[in-house]
């Protein structure tokens, strides 16, 4: 079990917990809300078997990382990621972000550039901009995020119970693609997260990543479920793939938000096949889209 210090809150150090396994070209896994790096358990073995070094870390406030009351914004999240990459002296690495983690992928490249970055993968990610505004009519109405914040503030444990129903589309997938025990394990992970982080991160879901996405100049794979009830495909993945030159878009038929769990048999081959391709920056070809049943 390894930790890296990424800052301080008063007299207390802020540490990120991370796991570092295998060898070969590095892949950095960035989890979604309100989970931890443990949520990648179906991807880690596949990536190791494909010959990659796999690094997975817990975002501040979640999993085994520190739980400060500050720093819950994407500039800080990108800084935390940069600390980890620098500490591990990573080169020629791929960033893979799920949900909120997709925001880290975009903001990291937007803020630090793509030096050292070989490829990018965004799975069910929040970019490019989820908030509905006059210049972003495809977004989600602000009242939705306001209602989520109220529910988290009132009783986050009850909120998580309802949240995971739509996270996995349990009305369709329970007992088939996800078990009651797996949903409970996700709830348990959410329950030990910081109460401050659980609430503060809601505002980050509608961060404007359009300028960040425009700076992504490495081969990029976007994977999104077409039945995602948390981050709608039409508002997010579909648009992100169009904004990144040459991006590959894989649409998982009937996929909920956490396709990395429910549809690992579809996600893992798409991920490992993409990573096996040669990396050429500045691709200008048209987006490539394919559906996976």
Catalytic residue numbers?
Answer: 99, 228, 257
Contact between 102 and 123 under an 8 Å Cβ cutoff? The reply is yes
H helix or E strand, kind and range, residue 82: helix 74-88
Give strand ranges (E) for 22-145. Answer: 26-30, 53-57, 93-98, 117-123
Interhelix angle for 142-168 vs 180-191, to 10°?
Answer: 140
- For residue 44, give the nearest of 281, 233, 272, 205 by alpha carbon: 272
With a CB cutoff of 8 Å and minimum separation 6, the contacts of 176 are none
Dihedral (Cα; 90, 216, 63, 208), 10-degree rounding = 150
User: What is the rounded CA–CA span in Å between residue 204 and residue 72?
Assistant: 8
Q: Is the dihedral of CA 195, 196, 197, 203 positive or negative?
A: positive
Q: Which two tokens stand for residue 231?
A: 């981050």
Residue environment code for 35-47, b if the CB has 16+ CB neighbours within 10 A, otherwise e: bbbbbbeebbebb
By residue count, the chain amounts to: 293
Q: Which two tokens stand for residue 149?
A: 């914040």
CA atoms within 13 A on the CB side of 85: 25
Residue with structure tokens 């659980």? 198
Helix (H, G, I), strand (E, B) or coil at 268: helix
């Amino acid at each position: 079990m390894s930790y890296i210090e990424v800052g301080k809150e008063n007299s207390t150090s802020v540490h990120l917990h991370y796991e570092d396994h295998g060898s070969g070209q590095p892949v950095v896994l960035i989890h979604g809300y309100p989970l931890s790096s443990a949520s990648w358990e179906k991807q880690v073995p596949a990536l190791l078997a494909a010959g990659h070094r796999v690094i997975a870390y817990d975002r501040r406030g979640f999993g085994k990382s520190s739980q400060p009351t500050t720093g819950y914004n994407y500039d800080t999240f990108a800084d935390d990621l940069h600390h980890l990459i620098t500490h591990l002296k990573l080169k020629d690495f791929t960033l893979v972000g799920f949900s909120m983690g997709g925001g880290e992928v975009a903001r990291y490249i937007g803020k630090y550039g793509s030096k050292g970055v070989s490829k990018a993968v965004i799975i069910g990610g929040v970019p490019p901009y989820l908030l509905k505004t006059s210049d972003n009519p495809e977004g989600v109405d602000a009242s939705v995020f306001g209602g989520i914040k109220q529910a988290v503030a009132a009783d986050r444990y009850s909120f998580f119970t309802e949240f995971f129903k739509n996270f996995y589309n349990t009305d369709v997938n329970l007992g088939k693609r996800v078990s009651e025990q797996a949903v409970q394990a996700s709830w348990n992970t959410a329950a030990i997260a910081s109460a401050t982080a659980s609430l503060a991160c809601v505002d980050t879901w509608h961060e404007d990543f359009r300028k960040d996405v425009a700076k992504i100049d490495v081969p990029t794979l976007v994977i999104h479920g077409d039945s995602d009830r948390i981050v709608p495909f039409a508002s997010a993945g579909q648009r992100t793939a169009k904004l990144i030159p040459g991006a590959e878009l894989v649409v998982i038929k009937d996929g909920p938000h956490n396709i990395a769990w429910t549809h690992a048999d579809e996600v893992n081959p798409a991920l490992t096949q993409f990573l096996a391709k040669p990396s050429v920056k500045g691709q200008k070809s048209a987006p490539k889209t394919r559906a996976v049943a």
